[in-house]
Amino acid sequence: MADTSARILRLLSLLQARVEWRGADLADRLDVSARTLRRDVGTLRELGYPVNAVMGAGGGYRLGAGGRLPPLVLDDDQAIAIALALQTAPATVAGIVDAVGRALTTLRQVMPARLRAASEAFDVTLLRNYWEFSAEPVDVGTLRTVGAAIRTARVLRFDHHAGDGVAPDAGPPRDVEPHHLVVWAGRWYLIARDLPGRRWHTYRVDRIRPHTPGGGAVFTPQPLTRDDLTRLVVQNPDRGDTPGQWQCVGSAILDLPAAVTARWAPGGSVVEPVGAGRSRLTVGGWSWAGIAGLLITFDTGLSDVEPPELRAAMRQISRRLDDATAPAR
């Protein structure tokens, strides 16, 4: 009986993991005959789970909507994956740290002893890397409002705050059609199309202050590909970033187009187009040598380096490299 119950739970987990299964594939995954699979599906139906038959070559099954479904059914690998993800979740959203901890505790409480021991083997201590250029955490209420406007395809009205201060930009509130939330380099971005000009814009979510949680008029979403999102966020020098609060902030003109520089610049840096095929990168760091090293990784021509402390660090690095590559005496 225990083996049968475990198999039925495994069947339910598989049905939840995919929109549609071929009957033969399910039987193979469960290592049972087609007859036993039909009997197990019948058992799930008797328990109130809406398992629908799929017509076609070979036949199949699909888990329908509704019914007396449990909040969550996980197999061993899924449970461990969620526990690990909760432990390593980046603190990019304000107000959820306690919730993440409670979720991890709840998950471990309902795990069998063997899985609980396995998940605790992955206890993680996160240490900050100096090369992380994190932003201020996003307000969870703002994230909910923006996400709801995207999900319901409703116009979003908000004040936009320049920089990392609290004062809004001059001018009226923004009215946009919100399409996507994108997380990149520790920052949350909203991809939206403004109503007056119907142009695409990229907004830092931590600088958005929504007006109405319910949203405005309904709009028809415009499909965007992954390449579109990359162009609007990763390769976009006008994505609203500003240098982080570092003890050293420097800049240089790179012999690269702004889109290329933006693609590889760390979060919290600023990229500005400077003529054809050139761009200025402004970035912060814990030392002038650190900023110099970051600029060197672009492997391109550099000019107009500021401030003098950064130029001095580059000269010092150059002398060290000359010494390191000099012929042995």
**Domain identity same for 187 and 208:** yes
Final residue of a structural domain among 212, 234, 256? 234
Final residue of a structural domain among 211, 234, 257? 234
Task: Centre a 10 Å sphere on the Cβ of residue 80 and count the other Cβ atoms it contains.
Answer: 17
pTM metric for this prediction: 0.65
* pLDDT at 231 exceeding the cut of 60: yes
Confirm whether 319 is domain-assigned: yes
**Domain identity same for 183 and 147:** yes
* pLDDT at 166 exceeding the cut of 70: no
- Which CATH number covers residue 22? 1.10.10.10
How much is the pLDDT for 113?
A: 80
Helix, coil or strand: residue 195:
coil
Final residue of a structural domain among 63, 85, 104? 63
How much is the pLDDT for 327?
A: 83
**Domain identity same for 142 and 116:** no
Please provide the DSSP assignment of 218-287 as one string: B--PPP--HHHHIIIIIT-TTS-----S-SEEEEEEESS-HHHHHHHSPTT-EEEE-STT-EEEEEEESS
Sequence-ordered list of residues with C-beta below 8 angstroms from that of 302, at least 6 positions apart, any chain: 252, 253, 254, 255, 295
The 10s digit of each residue's pLDDT in 234-253 is 888 888 877 667 889 999 99
**Residue 183 is part of which domain span?**
138-234
The 10s digit of each residue's pLDDT in 190-204 is 999 998 888 999 998
- Rounded Cα distance between 32 and 5, Å, is 14
Confirm whether 57 is domain-assigned: yes
The 10s digit of each residue's pLDDT in 174-228 is 899 999 988 887 788 899 999 888 899 999 888 899 987 666 889 999 888 889 9
Confirm whether 108 is domain-assigned: yes
**Domain identity same for 279 and 226:** no
Please, which pLDDT band fits residue 17 given cuts at 50, 70 and 90? confident
How much is the pLDDT for 171?
A: 67
E strand or H helix at 145, and its extent?
helix 140-152
Confirm whether 127 is domain-assigned: no
Confirm whether 126 is domain-assigned: no
User: What's the token pair of residue 165?
Assistant: 């201060």
How much is the pLDDT for 250?
A: 94
Average pLDDT over residues 272-278: 90
**Measuring CA to CA, how many Å separate 318 from each of 215, 294, 307?**
56, 14, 17
How much is the pLDDT for 176?
A: 93
**Domain identity same for 206 and 257:** no
- Rounded Cα distance between 298 and 255, Å, is 9
Confirm whether 129 is domain-assigned: no
Confirm whether 128 is domain-assigned: no
**Domain identity same for 150 and 96:** no
Residue length of the chain:
329
- Rounded Cα distance between 223 and 215, Å, is 20
How much is the pLDDT for 288?
A: 95
Please provide the DSSP assignment of 51-106 as one string: EEEE-STT-EEEEPS-SS--S----HHHHHHHHHHHHT--S-EET-HHHHHHHHHH
The 10s digit of each residue's pLDDT in 26-70 is 999 899 998 999 999 998 888 888 888 888 766 889 888 765 555
Helices (H) and strands (E) in the chain, counts: 11, 14
How many domains is the chain built from?
A: 4
How much is the pLDDT for 1?
A: 47
Confirm whether 242 is domain-assigned: no
**Domain identity same for 146 and 215:** yes
The mean of the pLDDT values for the chain is 83
